[in-house]
Chain A
Amino acid sequence: MTALLELKDAMIRFGGLVAVKDLNFSVNEGELFGLIGPNGAGKTTVFNLITGVYAPTSGTILFDGKPVQGRKPHQICGAGIARTFQNIRLFPDMTVLENVMVSRHMRKTQGLAGAVLRSAAFLREEAEFRTDAMRLLELFQMEKFADEHASNLPYGSQRRLEIARALATKPRLLLLDEPAAGMNPQESADLMRLIRRLRDEFKVSILLVEHNMKVVMGVCERIQVLVHGEGIAVGEPAAIRKDPRVIEAYLGKE
């Protein structure tokens, strides 16, 4: 297996606070990779580094062998990394279908003139965006909400819509920031099935930040543990569960 995403000595400093320090890990093609750690460990900061919200103070981030650190979020999305957000960030006043269709905008081929003149090619592309988005919604069993405003969806469906919207950008790597937050056990179990299915059907690698250990241990093939911005252990779920350093970070020393 080849590494799709590779962090090399990634470091970011906010004033006097080193939020992420010399972090090294890699996510392989087609892998389900977990990133865990206590509150404030810097997990979301790592996501923001990878997706270009922040530029690392030093170190490199390689995606598909090419450095992407310091590039703008939309460029990184265009390169094939899509994400969801810990606090849901949908487009609340747009319909569910439109939320998903937005993700296709960067891959459009028709210009403004086509849109104003309603050229045949433009209409064809719009129809294609619509059917594609609809197909994705069907896969998430949300097609019946297509014309509903995103803000009217129940919480769990909003989370699923965020994943659908991220997938519509046709990523090779999908970053999920606490997808199971606020879900009941039934919904988390559904989510785990969904994550595995996405990997198999869309051939995406998935990097997951999650606090729900049942979900992380159940779905991830490898896990990186982050404490105070430093990577302290990486390995398979069974090994991580027994690692004394991890237990100490979460529960303290006896």
Chain B
Amino acid sequence: MKRLLWITGALAALALLQWGCSAILLDGPIRQGPYYYQIMILAGINIVLAVSLNLTNGITGQFSIGHAGFFAVGAYVAASVSYYGGPGIRAATAFLPAVGQDTVVLLLALAAAGLAAALAGLLVGIPSLRLRGDYLAIVTLGFGEIIRVVILNVDAVGGARGFVGIPKLSNFFWVYLLVTACVVTVWNVVRSSYGRAFIAIRENEIAAQAMGIDVTRHKVMAFVIGAVFAGMAGCLFGHYTMYLHTNSFTFVKSFEIIIMVAIGGLGSIEGAVLGAIFLTVLPEAFRGFEGYRMIIYSLALILIMIFRPQGMLGQASLFGKKSKGKRK
């Protein structure tokens, strides 16, 4: 009952924010309104990517650098669902108002994106998560590139021309609904028996195994949960930009997500959120420097890593019980 109240409250708050944002930023008097709105959307998508990758890289300690691959799978599968299946779905739900039809199409696309990314996660995870450290990193890197090159050669999704004509179905409301779902899910998983098993694997794999934890199974589990959210983020990304090109999903994107997690503090959920916002806003904030923008951006990253190698938050938690012991 209390939980239902929370969910309704969150939905109402998001709807209110969506209405406020579009009234003030999109249709309002602020000249750069749409620009700020777009930054907020991209920050939200990056939060989902960083928090979900953190489950694999930070919590379970398996260094994956193929997250952009799952992002791409979700984006293209979802876009195909609404592009090719959209008219059919709308016809089947003609009794609903336009908003209702949009919602049905987007929810189906989201489900397809999550499912496809989960399958991709299983496919990559089962063989590769038996590997350790650098080997796993290389395999996941390879996977991400394979996905990108395959998409590049599928003509039905635009190939090298890019996927044009995706309906604009996602907005602030949907992006931040996914952000909430992702953060709550990862938060609750980490603070459960599963989370302890994941952390135990990171801390000492041999001991975790000797205490009865099926190590491969749990690594794959963390990997797949992360992939599902990355896929759904891809869905909302495509349905916001209305255009997809494989250039958005190169390994540079994977590294960007890793930097978000590392800058925030490996293993810290709040850190991943902060890191994602920071890395979305930072390059924009330096626009005034024009040609020197990327140099200053890179310098800022280097300085952060020199002065706070454990990330902005380290492993500290902003909320909840803190350990009395000192953190390493």
**B-binding residues in A (CB < 8 A):** 51, 53, 72-74, 77-78, 82-83, 85, 89-95, 98, 101-108, 110, 112, 115-118, 122, 125-126, 129, 147-149, 151-152, 165-166, 169
The 8 nearest A-B residue pairs measured at CB = A149-B325, A106-B212, A115-B192, A91-B203, A77-B212, A89-B207, A73-B209, A152-B325
User: Is A94 touching B196 in the complex (CB atoms < 8 A)?
Assistant: yes
B8 contacts A by Cβ under 8 Å: no
Q: Could you name 18 residue pairs across A and B whose Cβ atoms are closer than 8 Å? A: A72-B209, A74-B210, A74-B215, A77-B209, A89-B207, A90-B203, A91-B204, A92-B204, A93-B328, A94-B199, A101-B196, A102-B208, A103-B211, A106-B214, A112-B221, A149-B325, A151-B328, A169-B212
Chain B binding surface SS class: helix
A111 nearest CB neighbor, chain B only? B194
B324 contacts A by Cβ under 8 Å: yes
User: Is B199 touching A91 in the complex (CB atoms < 8 A)?
Assistant: yes
Give the complex CA separation of A237 and B323 in angstroms: 45
User: Is A169 touching B211 in the complex (CB atoms < 8 A)?
Assistant: yes
A74 → B minimal CB distance (Å):
5
User: Is A93 touching B215 in the complex (CB atoms < 8 A)?
Assistant: no
Give the complex CA separation of A166 and B200 in angstroms: 14
User: Is B210 touching A95 in the complex (CB atoms < 8 A)?
Assistant: no
Which residues of chain A are near B203, meaning CB under 8 Å?
A: 90-94
User: Is B192 touching A122 in the complex (CB atoms < 8 A)?
Assistant: yes
A-B contact count (CB 8 A): 121
Which residues of chain B are near A108, meaning CB under 8 Å?
A: 193
Give the complex CA separation of A98 and B196 in angstroms: 7
**A-binding residues in B (CB < 8 A):** 3, 184-185, 188-189, 192-197, 199-200, 203-204, 206-215, 221, 225, 315, 321, 323-328
User: Is A91 touching B323 in the complex (CB atoms < 8 A)?
Assistant: no
Of B321, B325, B328, most buried by chain A (CB within 10 Å of CB) is B325
Given contacts A91-B204, A95-B323, A112-B221, contact A74 B189 (CB under 8 A): no
Give the complex CA separation of A151 and B327 in angstroms: 10
Which residues of chain A are near B324, meaning CB under 8 Å?
A: 147-148
Give the complex CA separation of A147 and B192 in angstroms: 16
In-complex Cβ contact of B200 among A94, A95, A148 (8 A): A94
